[in-house]
Structure 1
């Protein structure tokens, strides 16, 4: 059974929150961020306010997937992570 958009938003918020709190993550999490964002952008039930920040979150996930130092990438985005978690709550 596919997840509805509210569950997808919860998972996305949880991953971003873990990155913010732990200052570490995995490439698999970055790939999951990308998949969640793509799905949410295609969903008409997602609010415009959320859709406005999703491209930035996608870019963050993509940057994390391809960086040589994922922990440094996460640390460099602490302010954005905090903002995104707040906006998705």
Structure 2
């Protein structure tokens, strides 16, 4: 059963919140972020502001997959997690 829009948004925010709290993420989580974002990006009903945020998160996830030090990668983005989550809430 595919996830609907609200489920996808909830999953995205949950993973980001976990990364913020845990200060790390697994390759599987980064890949899950990418899959959810790809699915959301083709949704024509999504606000362009959310799509811009999704592109930033997608870049974060790609860099996370390729990072040799996940903790350092995550630390570089700590200030962005709350902004991403709040912005998604605002526009979705």
Shorter-normalised TM range: over 0.9
Is the 1:5–1:46 contact (alpha carbons within 8 Å) kept by the matching residues of 2? no
Q: Which residue of 2 aligns with 1:86?
A: 86
Unaligned runs of 5+ in 2: none
Who is 2:23 aligned against? 23
CA–CA distance in structure 2, aligned partners of residues 88 and 26 of structure 1: 22
RMSD: 0.9
* Matched length: 89
Whole-Å separation in 1 of the counterparts to 2:75 and 2:59: 15
Deviations 1:12-38 (A, max 9, x none): 000001101111110100011111111
The C-alpha deviation readout for 1:4-62, integer Å capped at 9, x for no partner, is: 11110110000001101111110100011111111100111222221121111000000
Distance 1:19 1:69 in 2: 14
Structure 1: which 4+ aligned runs deviate by more than 3 Å?
none
Cα separation, 2, equivalents of 1:59 and 1:16 = 13
